[in-house]
Amino acid sequence: MLRTVKDYTSTEGKPNWCPGCGDFGIEMAMKQAMAQLDLDPDKVLLISGIGCGANMPNWFSTYGFITLHGRALPVATGAHLASHELSVFVEAGDGDAYGIGMGHFIHAMRRNPNMVYIVGNNTVYGLTLGQISPTAAKGCKGPSTPFGNPDLPVNPIALALANHCSFVGRGYAGNLPHLINLIKAAHQHKGFALVDVLQPCVTYAKDVGYKYYQDLTYDLQEAGHDKTNLEAAMKRAFEVPEKYPIGIFYQEERPLYEEELPQFKKGPLVSHDISNVDITPIFEEYSS
């Protein structure tokens, strides 16, 4: 019997996002992708940071972990290396990923652990009442920038392309079928997969809402983009804010972090027998 969204849904309660929030789309796309991939919920670990979207593990029936603001990736990396056969999904917001946790993002891409990194990119900090995020355009106004954002926005796609990210994707929370397929492709990818999701915040970022993205997004794959061409991908990454390409910008096969180390060959570290480790050889080594 094929699994359905229900198999991934917690019985404890329902999401508390604002009506119309892009997070509903991301949640549904993730559950649909998991169901279509027929993942065993007990083998799925969903790790999040802090923020509206990062509350997501509350509403999943898989293993979950709501961590700290900006630290979802290192926590996920540790859990993944301890138990590397799990399907690890990491859910973070743009503040998590491109603000406070930017350093971890850069280094995770270098490391290439096998996990999907879904970043809800809505250009604002919703949970703290609407300040600008690192992806907000210059000039954007908010409670912390009453005279306009003085800084230029982060370009996460270009950043990932420039930094060895082995799967660089962008989805749109208002295009569910596309987002489901993108998350599935990201999960099937062997390595670290970034899925940046354009996500309207209907409460605080009304200028960049569904209408805005509906008009400006287009499907890279339909447009004939070659996802193995880094140069072409980089060019597309800089089409914002005139156009927002969605789909797979770039994908390459690279050995996984854990594949290159013999420690992981005997199965997940958590399955190793630790009841009687013999350290006499170490004493011998240090006695000569």
Partner 1 sequence: MKINELNFMIGGKAGEGIEVPGNMFAKLCMKAGLWLNATREFYSVIKGYNNINQIRVAEQPVKSHINRYDLILAIDDETVPRYYKDVVPGGGIIYDPSLVSASSVQSEVRPGGALVYDATLMKEALSREDINYFPVPMSDLAMEKVGLKLAKNIVGIGATLALLDYNVQPLLDLIVKTFARKGDDVVNKNIDAAQAGYNYAREKFSREFNYQLRNVKNPVKKFFADGNEVMVFGAIKSGLKFVSEYPMTPSSSILHTTAKYAQKYNISVNHVEDELSAMNMAVGAGFAGARSLVATSGGGFALMTEAVGMAGMIEAPVVCIECQRPGPSSGLPTRSGQGDLRQVMHASQGEFPRIVMAPGHHEEAFYMVHEAFNLAERYQCPVFIISEKYLSEGYATLPYLKTDHLRVDRGKLLKESEIRAGYKRYQITADGIPPRAIPGQKGGAHLANTYEHLESGYSTEEVGHVTAMYERRMKKIELIEKNLPAAELEGNPKADFTIVCWGGTYMPASEAMDMLNRDGVKTNLLHVKYMLPFQPGVREILEHCKRPVLVEGNYTGLLGGVIAEKAGIDIRSRILDYSGRPFTPDKIYEEIKKLTKK
Asked if 164 interacts with partner 1 (CB under 8 A), we say no
Residues numbered 69-98 forming contacts with partner 1, rule: CB under 8 A: 71, 74-83, 85-86
- Annotate 130-154 with b (16+ C-beta within 10 A) or e (fewer): bbbbbbbbeebebeeeeeebeeebb
CA distance 223 to 125: 32
- Decide: residue 206, CB within 10 A, 0-12 exposed, 13-18 middle, 19+ buried: exposed
CA distance 219 to 221: 6
Shortest reach from residue 51's CB to partner 1, in Å:
12
Asked if 15 interacts with partner 1 (CB under 8 A), we say no
Of 165 and 205, the one with the shorter C-beta distance to partner 1 is 165
CA distance 130 to 17: 14
Asked if 124 interacts with partner 1 (CB under 8 A), we say no
**Could you tell me where the beta strands, DSSP code E, fall in the chain?**
44-48, 63-66, 87-93, 115-121, 124-125, 131-132, 167-172, 192-198, 217-219, 244-251
Near partner 1 by CB under 8 A: residue from 24, 65, 212, 218: 65
Residues numbered 18-47 forming contacts with partner 1, rule: CB under 8 A: 41-43, 45, 47
Q: Which range binds partner 1 by CB under 8 A, 22-30, 100-108, 158-166, 213-221?
A: 100-108
Q: Which range binds partner 1 by CB under 8 A, 126-134, 158-166, 219-227, 254-262?
A: 254-262
Of 242 and 285, the one with the shorter C-beta distance to partner 1 is 285
Binding mask 102-121 for partner 1 (x = CB under 8 A): -xx-xx--------------
Of 2 and 282, the one with the shorter C-beta distance to partner 1 is 282
Of 250, 244, 252, the closest CA to residue 121 belongs to: 244
Calculate the CA dihedral of residues 126, 131, 135, 138 and round it to 10 degrees: 150
- In the complex, which residues of this chain contact partner 1 (CB under 8 A)? 10, 12-13, 41-43, 45, 47, 50, 55, 57-58, 60-68, 71, 74-83, 85-86, 103-104, 106-107, 258, 261-264, 266, 268-270, 272, 274-277, 279-280, 282-284, 286-288
